[in-house]
Amino acid sequence: MREVLVRKLKEVTSEVLETMFYLVPEHLEGGSSGGEGEYVVEIPIEGGGTKAAIYLSFSSNLAEQMAANFLAEGEVSQPMIIDVLKEAANMMGGNLVSALDKKGEWKLGQPQVYQGVEAYGMVIGLEPVCEFDVDGEILRVYAAGRRGG
């Protein structure tokens, strides 16, 4: 199941970034170096008695670029960035649940955006299940049991 999850995460992440944000992610094999992102978006998923979450770690630069591309605006504000990250999480999570669950047993929760130290705390101790180079910025994707409330 883990292999299927990782494969589907790679697919939906690439598809959403390309079609909705006009960005070309390149999957990184073997991990990357560098610090964690300034933003982490938690996507809760629940089904079959399991509560889990996907965590997406974005740098500030990547988050700003996504917001600018999605909204077709040069300058983006902090609230705009957070709204766009939530929307990206909804798209990725929705596509993931649809791809994995043909019986409708899994449900997608509300995405939550964390910043700075709080973002780092959400992924501390987790290993990314996949990583992407997106225009020189690293996007890390984690999957784990639910950490937040």
Question: How many structural domains comprise the chain?
Answer: 1
Q: What is the pLDDT of residues 125-137, one digit of tens each?
A: 999 999 999 999 9
pLDDT in the model for residue 102: 67
Examine the pLDDT at 51 and tell me if it is beyond 70: yes
Q: By the 8 A CB rule, do 106 and 67 touch?
A: no
CATH number of domain containing 112: 3.40.1550.10
Q: How confident is the model at residue 144 (pLDDT cuts 50, 70, 90)?
A: confident
- Put simply, whether the predicted model's pTM sits higher than 0.85 gets the answer yes
pLDDT in the model for residue 149: 46
Task: Give the domain range for residue 103.
Answer: 2-145
Q: What's the CA dihedral at 54, 55, 61, 65 to 10 degrees?
A: 20
Range with the poorest average pLDDT among 1-5, 42-46, 71-75, 96-100: 1-5
Which positions ≥6 away from 108 have C-beta within 8 Å? 43, 44, 45, 90, 93, 94, 97
What rounded mean pLDDT belongs to the chain? Answer: 88
pLDDT in the model for residue 34: 58
Q: What is the pLDDT of residues 107-130, one digit of tens each?
A: 899 999 999 999 989 999 999 999
